[in-house]
């Protein structure tokens, strides 16, 4: 019997089967429908999977009125969403940097993603955040393709040094750019930068890479090589909060391409996500849900504006509250 049809009965009824709940969630009667989630930028396939997951969780529960069912479904969905946004593997960058310090080596982060999502800008924001926490940063300019990429990083480095001059840190240079120009092997530059950072006592190396489309085999092979050869501590995928389905597709295909083009027996994949332009999406926060759901990888940072200070950790409950807002 279809669940939508029995919700108007006053008698208390068991909430079964799960398919009935799916019908309810996808119906016009439900304020938490699949179309509602899709309108908030949750990828279509993931919206369906979420509703099925909630339906299974509620199967067999005893319900009363329509209001009771709606309230129960809403609470179950909220709990499921918060759980998705807090994956088992949590990335604590500051803790991991300090651990690398104890082993007398730099902590290495590689940034990757498609063209135009703000990799270099958010790398600079993370540099600022690390410096504010007392760590010195070497930026490795490994985007040797895009015209102006090195100059952009040079500008960021100059500005960061102006905000944190050596005299404010006991004469210590807190940020420096390692660059070898254009047309060179990115994996080799990253390796040299890491060696230089170790010799010069830098705490962190942030490796900027060229933007590339996930279906560009030569560039994906080059990225897989860079990651395999240099074994960074953290591989961050930078994606836009605006794009929803497209961001999920990019992330899935990046992971697949890294696996397909890796030379290693156990391929190194994406460890975490930086979600940019988070301040521009209002309550359409579905990309955050979609990307963590599909990969089980945490969103490590969100970009929330144009200045170096506009970087935040993800507040899972706030994101879910925005998503559930009618």
Q: Name the percent of the chain lying above pLDDT 70.
A: 88
Answer for the pair 42, 289: CB distance below 8 angstroms, yes or no.
Answer: yes
pLDDT confidence of residue 113: 92
Superfamily (CATH) of domain 93-324 = P-loop containing nucleotide triphosphate hydrolases (3.40.50.300)
Report d(CA 273, CA 121) in Å as an integer. Answer: 15
Regarding predicted confidence, which is higher, 16 or 251?
A: 251
Q: pLDDT tens digits, residue range 172-211? A: 999 999 999 998 999 999 999 999 999 999 999 999 998 8
Write down the mean pLDDT value for the chain.
Answer: 85
Stretch 277-281: mean pLDDT, rounded?
86
pLDDT confidence of residue 145: 85
pLDDT over 70 (residue 9) = no
Q: pLDDT tens digits, residue range 202-257? A: 999 999 998 888 888 888 889 999 999 999 999 999 998 877 678 788 888 889 88
pLDDT confidence of residue 17: 47
**pTM of the predicted model as reported, rounded to 2 decimal places:** 0.86
Q: How many CB atoms lie within 10 A of CB 314?
A: 20
Q: Angle, nearest 10°, between helix axes 286-295 and 316-324? A: 120
Structure tokens given for 125:
């924001």
């Amino acid at each position: 019997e279809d669940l939508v049809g029995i919700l108007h009965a006053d008698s208390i009824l068991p909430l079964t089967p799960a398919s009935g709940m799916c019908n309810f969630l996808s119906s016009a009667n439900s304020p938490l429908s699949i179309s509602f989630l899709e309108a908030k930028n949750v990828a279509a396939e993931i919206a369906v999977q979420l509703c099925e997951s909630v339906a299974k969780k509620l199967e067999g529960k005893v319900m009363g009125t329509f209001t009771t069912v709606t309230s129960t479904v809403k609470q179950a969905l909220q709990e499921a969403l918060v759980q998705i946004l807090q994956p088992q593997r949590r990335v604590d960058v500051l803790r991991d940097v300090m651990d690398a310090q104890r082993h007398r080596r730099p902590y290495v982060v590689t940034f990757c993603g498609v063209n135009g999502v703000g990799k270099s800008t958010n790398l600079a924001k993370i540099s600022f955040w690390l410096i504010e926490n007392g760590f010195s940063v070497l930026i490795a300019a490994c985007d040797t393709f895009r015209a102006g990429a090195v100059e952009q990083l040079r500008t960021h480095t100059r500005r960061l040094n102006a905000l944190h001059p050596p005299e404010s840190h006991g004469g210590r240079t807190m940020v420096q750019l390692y660059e070898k120009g254009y047309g060179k092997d990115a994996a080799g530059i990253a390796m040299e930068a890491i060696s230089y950072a170790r010799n010069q006592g830098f705490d962190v190396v942030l490796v900027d890479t060229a933007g590339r489309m996930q279906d560009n085999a030569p560039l994906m092979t080059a990225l897989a090589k860079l990651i395999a050869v240099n074994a960074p501590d953290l591989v961050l995928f930078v994606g836009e909060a605006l794009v929803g389905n497209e961001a999920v597709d990019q992330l899935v295909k990046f992971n697949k391409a890294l696996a397909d083009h890796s030379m290693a027996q156990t391929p190194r994949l994406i460890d975490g996500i930086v979600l940019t332009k988070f301040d521009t999406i209002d309550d359409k926060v579905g990309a955050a849900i979609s990307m963590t759901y599909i990969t089980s990888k945490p969103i490590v940072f969100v970009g929330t504006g144009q200045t170096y200070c506009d970087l935040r950790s993800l507040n899972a409950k706030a994101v879910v509250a925005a998503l559930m807002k009618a």
